[in-house]
Amino acid sequence: MKFKTLLEAVNFCNSVQYKDIDFQNEYHEFIVDGTSVGAIKNMYIGDIEQYIADRANNLPLFKVTTTTGCGNTTNVKKIVTFADWCNSRTLREHHVATFLSFMREKGCWECLKKWRDELYPIYGCKSEKDRVFLYLERAAAQVFGIRTYGVHLNGYVIDKSVKITASNPIEFSRLRGEQTKMWVAKRSNAPKKTYPGMLDQIVAGGISAGESPQSSLVRECFEEAGGIDINKSIETGKCIPAGTIQYYFEGNKLLGLQPETQYVYDVEMEPSVVPFSVDDEVESFQLLTINEILDNRLLSFEFKPNCLLVVVDFLIRHGFITASNEPEYLNIIDSLHAPLPFPGP
């Protein structure tokens, strides 16, 4: 598979627009305490209704209903909410954990086979200081289609041995793209891994409950990529937070929606530093010139979809992809900053 344009490559990941989600036929809106926080694919609803029915002696946990639309059929929406009695953070958290453990034990839902024992927050609660309605198991995030958060680190090297003495802007730009290099990770090919063999940032991962983006980054560096002293890099200003990218993704096999925000960090690395893999997520690291990435890697479907967005954002912020060399510049920037309809932290 190849992409024809960079916009097409970016939109492979930012593939959903909230206004196009079909809450009449394909999805149920997930609402907590009056606030929309996610979208549940219909395939999960049967099991949820069965859970309610099976446990008829207990109070049902969820309500699955349809809004009337005030006489306007286009506004009719299917929704899932908590039952009225389940009205506190403690109750929601406890009973969702029980529900998900039950579904997992029953062998339901492919995604629950990747159970992490790691909790993700659902934000939007006005009465809690940290704005969290509840925490739930990370593997279930795509069941509910809730917003999730991660960190991605761009590791780059300025190779000063490449001298920039150019006689015209195009030559200059090519030399700059030869001088700047980016470390990319190749994901391991082990079975059951997501996106095996695809290219990734040097370090990336999800932000768990209670973690800040920076503490998440420090943990991920420790777990994934040896050789990078990220604490020292942060302390010396070589690693800086550089904003976020945001997208709304529906993959073919993922069977759920993923509205995601990724906190992006850039670290300028010494040419002498060679990262090495710590855990089994990464097979190898390679150092690519920006020209190699621009010419051969962006449209070739080698990057994991969301990692491509992080690379493109880096190339835009550092002046390698510009309004002069990319006709869809503005649409690409829009697509790196998708509006998400759910509240954040």
Give the binding site for a copy of itself (CB under 8 A). 72, 74, 164, 166, 169, 172, 176, 212-214, 234-237, 240-244, 246, 261, 263, 316-319, 322-324, 329-331, 333-334, 337, 339, 344-345
Nearest to 293 by CA among 264, 321, 266: 321
> What minimum distance in Å lies between the beta carbon of 32 and a copy of itself?
19
Nearer to a copy of itself, 101 or 212 (CB): 212
> What minimum distance in Å lies between the beta carbon of 301 and a copy of itself?
24
Nearer to a copy of itself, 263 or 285 (CB): 263
H helix intervals, 190-343: 213-224, 230-235, 290-292, 305-317, 329-336
Nearer to a copy of itself, 43 or 166 (CB): 166
> What minimum distance in Å lies between the beta carbon of 198 and a copy of itself?
25
> What minimum distance in Å lies between the beta carbon of 60 and a copy of itself?
34
Nearer to a copy of itself, 188 or 214 (CB): 214
Q: Are 161 and 208 in contact (CB under 8 A)?
A: no
Nearer to a copy of itself, 188 or 208 (CB): 208
> What minimum distance in Å lies between the beta carbon of 255 and a copy of itself?
27
Give the burial class of 62: count Cβ atoms within 10 A of its Cβ; 0-12 exposed, 13-18 middle, 19 or more buried.
Answer: buried
Give the burial class of 131: count Cβ atoms within 10 A of its Cβ; 0-12 exposed, 13-18 middle, 19 or more buried.
Answer: middle
Q: Could you tell me where the beta strands, DSSP code E, fall in the chain? A: 27-32, 35-41, 62-66, 78-82, 119-123, 132-137, 148-158, 180-187, 199-200, 203-206, 225-226, 239-250, 257-268, 276-277, 282-289
